[in-house]
Structure 1
Amino acid sequence: MGAAYPKRSTTMDQSAIIAFIEEQDLQKIRYAFADIDGVLRGKIIHRNKFLDGLTDGYGFCDVVFGWDCTDTPYDNGVVTGWHSGYPDAPVRIDVSTFRQLPWEDQMPFFLADFSRPDGNDLVACPRSLLKRIARQSEEMGYRAEFAQEFEWFNFRETPHTLQQKGFRQLEPLTPGMFGYSILRPSLESDFNHDLFDLLAQFDIPLEGLHTETGPGVYEAAIMHDEVVRAADKAILFKTAVKEIAYRHGLVATFMAKWNADLPGCSGHIHQSLWTPDGSKNLFFDPAKPDRMSDLMRQFMAGQLHCLPHILPMFAPTINSYKRLVEGAWAPTTVTWSVDNRTTALRVLNHKEAYARVEHRVAGADSNPYLAIAASLASGLYGIRHGLELDIPATVGNGYQNKEYGTLPANLWEATQAMKTSSIATELFGEGFVDHFTRTREWEWRQYARQVSDWELKRYFEII
C-alpha cells in the first residue's frame, strides 16, 4: 500500500459521460453487478436504454438473488422465489465506475447495484451492504483504504474441455512448483503483459504480479483505494482475468483449493484507516509498541472478536474450508502477529506509508464486497465498543496457538454460528444475515447429497 491513496483515472461526471458516449456514437453499453456468490451478472444495453435508466434504474429479474451460482433456485429463499413470482427489481448504474473494456473495442462499462435513493436497499445486494458500512466509517471520521490480493491457477483448457474431461486430467499453464519465477512469466510473456497492461487500462492497476508455488498459479496485488472502489476493483479483477485468459486459450480458476495436493488460493485483504483527506495513516504511531496506534489495536480486536461469528463472509463455499487447514498457508486460529504468515491477522507497519493489517482468512473464492464489508464492519465494531487487543501477538507457529479459539471447520458449522449471532445481526442487519445464511445452508445441502470420488474409491468394493 502506497503513501497516498490513488486518484481516480477519470473524473468524468454523468453529463461528461453522456456527452462522451454521444460524441463517440457508442451504441452499446455493458453493465454488471455482483450476486451473493460474487458472480458478476449483467447485460449489454442500447445507448438509448442506458440514457433512459440513469435516474430511475433498470428493471432486472430478482431471480439473480434467488438462485445459486449454477442458476438453481433456492427452495428456502425469502427475498424472492416462486412465492413472489420473481419480479423485476430496480438496478441502478453507478456512473462513477465508468470504464472502457480494452479487450472489447473500448465498450463502455459500468458497475451497478440495488441501492435506492431512499436508503431502502435490497438486503441481498452485496455492494449496497458495503456502501452502507463505508458510510459508517465516514461518519466515524475515517477514510477506509483497502486492497485485495488474489492467487489463482491457469489451465490450457476451455469451458468445453473442462466439461469433456469432467474437470480431471487438466493441463496447467506451466508445470511444476516454481514460486516467484522469472522464467515462467517469460515463457508466457504475451499473457503476462496482457494481464498487467489490460488490467491497468481497465482501471485495475497492479502493484505486482508473479508466479506462486504450484503449476500455473499466479498471484496479483491490486493497488489500494477507497474501500468501495477497492472492492469494485477486486470483483472486476476476477472476471477480467478470466476474460483475458479466454483470449489466450486459457481458463483461470479462483477456487480456494482445486487440488488436495497443492496450496490453496488466498484473497488476503489489506486495510487501514486514514484521515478524511488521506493525509495521515491512523494505524501508525511511532510512540506505541510495534508502532501500532490505539485505533489500530481496537480495529484488530474487533476483527478477532467477530471473526468466528462471520466466517462465511470470508469463506463462503464448501471448498473454502479445504484451504483453511493446518500447514496450508491459511489461518485456522484466532490469532494476530507482526509479519507472521501463520496467523489470521498480520501487521505490516515498518513505516507510516505502508502501515496496515492484512486479513489472511479470505480465500480467492470470496465475494470481495462481502469479505471487505466483513473486514471493515468488524474493525469498526472494535472501535465503537472500545475493545482491547488482549490477545497477545503470536510468535512462531500460529497453528499451534489455539488458546483464543479456532475457526469453524466447515461451512455448516460456520453458517450456524453466524445465523444465531447477535454480533452478525448488529454488523449487517437481520435481513441480510437471514438471507445470506439461508443461501449458505442451501449450499451445504447441495454438497451433502452428493457421492464423491473419494467415497467410491474408499467404499465401493471393500465395504
Structure 2
Amino acid sequence: MLTLEGLRQLIQDDQLETVIVAFTDHYGRLLGKRVDAEFFLDDVCNSGTHGCDYLLTTDIAMEPVPGYDYANWELGYGDFHMVPDLLTLRLASWLDKTAIVLCDLHNDKSHQPENIAPRSVLRKQLEALSADGLICKAASELEYYLLENSYRQAFEQNYQNLKPAGYYLEDYHILQGTRTEKYTAAVRRHLKKSGIPVETSKGEWGLGQHEVNIRYSEVLAMADHHVVYKQCLKEIADSMGLSITFMAKFATDQAGSSSHLHLSLWKDGKNAFVGDEQIGPVKGSAIFKWFLGGWIKHVPDVMPFYAPTINSYKRYVDGSWAPTRLAWSYDNRTAGFRVVGKGESLRIECRIPGADCNPYLAFAASLASGLDGIKNKIEPPECFIGDIYAAAHLPRVPYSLAEATSLFENSAFAKETFGEDVVKHYSHFFRIEQKAYDKSVTDWERKRYFEQI
C-alpha cells in the first residue's frame, strides 16, 4: 500500500504520473477518473473530486434509466462527491506509472454518505458490527473463465464460438495450469505488488476455468481487494490479447463461477465463533450459532445482493458444485453454507454468491443477516449430513431474478436493515435488468423456434 509520502517520492523519482480515482457502480464495475499525480497530491487527496450522479442509475450500457428518485432528468443529474479513502491507495503495478485509490461517495450538498452507494451500504453494517465490539474477517473466492480470444474479438464474434484456454476439465491439474502460467503468473505478481496478498492459483472444474485466491482481511478491505482484483485480471488479459469472464454461468454445459464468501467475527483479538457448545459436529459459540441461523434465514430477503443478474440464477443447478438449497453442513460442498476450520480458523463459507456479485452488497447482506441472527437469537436448522442436492424437502434458493427481487422488495427485514430508500432504489435497478431481458430475443429462441415453430 502507498502513503502520501510514498506517492510523493514516486512522483519525484519519475516513477508515477497518474492516480485512478475510482468507485464501484451497482454492477461492481470500477468507474472514475484518471488524475495527474501531482494534482492528486495538491488537491484531490484532501478535497476529493466530483462525478455525475447518473452513474448510480444507469443500466449496464451506461444509458440513463428513468424511475429513480435519487437522480433523474427532472433533477438535472447533478454531482456527487468522490472522497478518496487513502487507506486504499496503492500502485496499480500492471499499469504504467499508475496508482489507484477507491472512494466513498458523498452527497454534494449535505456532504453525508450517499446511502445507495454500494460501499456506503457495507459501511452501515460495519457501524452496527462495531457497536457490538466486533470486527469481521472475510475472504471472497473468485472463479473466472480464461479465453484465448481478445475482448474485441469476442465482441465482433457476438460472443459465439469462443475458445477456452483449456480443453479438458483441469481442476487442480498442474499441466494445464502450466499452459496458462504466463497469464496467471503475471496476475499473481501484479496483485502482490499492488498490495493484495496472494495465496494460491489453480485450475477449476470448467474448461479454461481458474481461480486465484487472495488472503483474508477485514471485510471492507476484502471488498476493496475484490474489485481491484477483477480490474487487474481483466486489464492484464486485455494487454495479452486474451479475455476473462466473471459471468456466473458462462456456458450451459460448464460449471458456474462463484464468489464463495468466508466470514468470521472477532472480538478482542480472538475469533468470537470459537466456543464449547456442541452445534452439530462443530464446537462453537452462541454467536457462531445465531450468526449462522440469521444468515441462512434471511437469504430470501437479500438474494439479489448475492445474485444480481439474469445469468446468476442459471448457476444454481443440482450436481454442479453450486448450491441449490438452504442448509448447512460441516465441510460439505453440496451445502449453501459450509462450515470449515476449527479453533481460530472456524468460519462460515456461504457458497451462494456468484462471481458476478458486487462484493460490498454481498458482504453487507451477509453481515446484516448474521447480526440479526445474533440480535434475535435465531437458531440454525439441524446440520445436514449427506448429499443436499438429493434433499428435495429443503427450501430452495430463488429460481430467478424476478422472484428474488419481489422477495427483496417486500421484505420488512431488508427495509428495516438497509432503509426503505435503498430497497426501493435497488428493487428498481434489478427490475430494469429483468425488463431488459424480458424484451430481448435470444440465440436460444432463434435456435429453438426459427425453423421448428
Q: TM-score range by the shorter chain?
A: over 0.9
Shift of 1:19: 4.1
Using CA pairs under 8 Å that are at least 6 residues apart, name the structure with larger relative contact order, 1 or 2: 1
Q: Out of 62, 78, 83, which is 2:74 matched to?
A: 83
Local SS of the residue matching 2:89: strand
Q: Does 1:228 align with 2:220?
A: yes
Shift of 1:303: 0.6
Q: Does 1:422 align with 2:428?
A: no
CA distance in 2, matches of 1:355, 1:175: 37
What 5-or-longer segments of structure 2 have no aligned partner? Answer: none
Q: Deviations over 1:124-153 (max 9, x none)?
A: 210111112112111111110001001100
Q: How does 1:158-197 map to 2 (within 5 A)?
A: 158-197=150-189
Q: 1:372 is matched with which residue?
A: 363
Q: How does 1:58-457 map to 2 (within 5 A)?
A: 58-115=49-106, 120-276=112-268, 279-286=269-276, 288-289=278-279, 290-349=282-341, 351-389=342-380, 391-457=381-447
CA distance in 2, matches of 1:343, 1:337: 6
**Normalization by structure 2: what TM-score?**
0.95
Change (3 A) 1:128 1:107: same
Task: Note if contact 2:151-2:238 (Cα within 8 Å) is conserved in structure 1.
Answer: no
Task: Note if contact 2:309-2:430 (Cα within 8 Å) is conserved in structure 1.
Answer: yes
CA distance in 1, matches of 2:291, 2:57: 34
What 5-or-longer segments of structure 1 have no aligned partner? Answer: 1-8
Shift of 1:159: 2.1
Local SS of the residue matching 2:338: strand
Which amino acid in structure 2 is aligned with residue 320 of structure 1?
S
Q: 1:5 is matched with which residue?
A: none
Moved more, 280-289 or 148-157: 280-289
CA distance in 2, matches of 1:167, 1:52: 43
Shift of 1:194: 0.9
Which amino acid in structure 1 is aligned with residue 190 of structure 2?
L
* Identity score, percent: 34
Task: Note if contact 1:56-1:90 (Cα within 8 Å) is conserved in structure 2.
Answer: no
Q: 1:4 is matched with which residue?
A: none
Shift of 1:257: 0.4
Task: Note if contact 2:146-2:209 (Cα within 8 Å) is conserved in structure 1.
Answer: yes
CA distance in 2, matches of 1:438, 1:140: 33
Shift of 1:28: 2.1
Shift of 1:71: 0.8
Local SS of the residue matching 1:78: coil
Which amino acid in structure 1 is aligned with residue 148 of structure 2?
R
Which amino acid in structure 2 is aligned with residue 67 of structure 1?
T
Task: Note if contact 1:60-1:89 (Cα within 8 Å) is conserved in structure 2.
Answer: yes
CA distance in 2, matches of 1:111, 1:260: 35
Shift of 1:115: 4.0
Moved more, 102-111 or 421-430: 102-111
Change (3 A) 1:254 1:18: closer
CA distance in 2, matches of 1:261, 1:383: 40
Task: Note if contact 2:249-2:257 (Cα within 8 Å) is conserved in structure 1.
Answer: yes
Shift of 1:186: 1.4
Local SS of the residue matching 2:271: coil
CA distance in 2, matches of 1:30, 1:453: 38
Q: Does 1:41 align with 2:31?
A: yes
Q: Deviations over 1:332-385 (max 9, x none)?
A: 211111111111111002x22321000110000001111111111111111111
Task: Note if contact 1:76-1:442 (Cα within 8 Å) is conserved in structure 2.
Answer: no
CA distance in 1, matches of 2:240, 2:180: 10
Local SS of the residue matching 1:291: strand
What is the root-mean-square deviation in Å for CA atoms of aligned residues?
1.8
Moved more, 106-115 or 210-219: 106-115
Shift of 1:21: 5.5
Task: Note if contact 1:342-1:397 (Cα within 8 Å) is conserved in structure 2.
Answer: yes
Q: Deviations over 1:376-411 (max 9, x none)?
A: 11111111112122x111111212335452221100
CA distance in 2, matches of 1:398, 1:355: 22
Shift of 1:17: 5.1
Moved more, 417-426 or 244-253: 244-253
Task: Note if contact 1:235-1:369 (Cα within 8 Å) is conserved in structure 2.
Answer: no
Task: Note if contact 2:277-2:286 (Cα within 8 Å) is conserved in structure 1.
Answer: no
CA distance in 1, matches of 2:435, 2:277: 52
Which amino acid in structure 2 is aligned with residue 126 of structure 1?
P
Local SS of the residue matching 1:199: helix
CA distance in 2, matches of 1:62, 1:424: 24
Q: Out of 449, 454, 460, which is 2:450 matched to?
A: 460
CA distance in 2, matches of 1:187, 1:159: 20
Shift of 1:317: 0.2
Alignment length, in residue pairs? 448
Task: Note if contact 2:18-2:97 (Cα within 8 Å) is conserved in structure 1.
Answer: no
**Normalization by structure 1: what TM-score?**
0.93
Q: Deviations over 1:279-308 (max 9, x none)?
A: 311112245341122111100111111101
Shift of 1:176: 1.5
Shift of 1:162: 1.0
CA distance in 2, matches of 1:258, 1:376: 29
